[in-house]
Amino acid sequence: MGLNMDEFHNSNTYNSLNALFTRKLKEDRKYSLDGQDFISPCDSLISECGILNYNYALQIKGMSYKGDELVGDFFSQEEKSIINNGTFINFYLSPKDYHRYHIPTNLSILKAVHIPGKFFPVNMPALKRKVNLFVENERVVLLCETQAKKRFYIVLVSALNVGVMQVSFEVKIKTNADALYSKLYSYDNLYLDKGDDFGCFEMGSTIVILAEKDFLDLNTKSGDNVKYGDTIAKIK
């Protein structure tokens, strides 16, 4: 699959394909410690990014989804409204990518919601064919708040052969487990630092960030390949 193992242990040290796909870095990467620098949470292709116009974000050029439908029904209208005219970034992780995800800026987690769903593939051909692909797939939605009280969502989206999405701070979340109903987890004092590893996909998949208006000034674009730790936006 073309994995680059330069930052990892030799492939023959992993005793299963799952261990290989969920591998950790031998040493953490260097990234900006400047509080205004918002880093990529993962190694990925930026499939689309930009402004949420009237709550719509691009799944891929010519195909859109509604931000409030992506985050689901366990958030109040006020919580959903923060992303109106805000910023979105779609990160596509291919099977060859490093599959762990990290915190993009110092934050607290206010809520986590596990939303059962389908497992459509999320590669480029599928994004062009399937309407509301992100909205229909199983996902885990995190409502985050920075120290400056800016809010944004991190949405982990499942895919074909990627039923398991690990969330290290909430072991009760069990994806690909025949759950019938969405479940909400709320937190009062859950703080995570920029760069913290908070889980992984057991194969490639997609992460979506939906941020409130006047929070992020993007310095990346659709089609860019980014690495965890790259500065992809400035916090206004």
| pLDDT attached to residue 60 | 67
Provide the number of structural domains found in the chain: 1
Is position 168 annotated as part of the catalytic site? Answer: no
In a domain, 18, yes or no: no
| pLDDT attached to residue 62 | 62
Residue of 37, 40, 43, 47 marked active site: 43
- Please name which of 20, 205, 221, 218 lies closest in space to residue 127, comparing C-alpha atoms: 205
The boundaries of the domain holding residue 68 are 32-235
- Please name which of 136, 145, 81 lies closest in space to residue 108, comparing C-alpha atoms: 145
Residue of 37, 64, 68, 102 marked active site: 102
The H or E element spanning position 80 is helix 77-81
In a domain, 161, yes or no: yes
What is the Cα–Cα distance from 199 to 176, expressed in whole angstroms?
Answer: 15
Q: In the chain, which residues have pLDDT < 70?
A: 60-62, 124, 161-163
| pLDDT attached to residue 185 | 97
| pLDDT attached to residue 126 | 73
| pLDDT attached to residue 132 | 78
pLDDT tens-digit map of 136-164: 889 999 999 999 999 999 999 988 766 68
In a domain, 86, yes or no: yes
In a domain, 78, yes or no: yes
In a domain, 159, yes or no: yes
The pTM of this model reads: 0.94
Is position 193 annotated as part of the catalytic site? Answer: no
What is the Cα–Cα distance from 11 to 3, expressed in whole angstroms?
Answer: 9
- What tokens were used for 35? 């509080």
Is position 214 annotated as part of the catalytic site? Answer: no
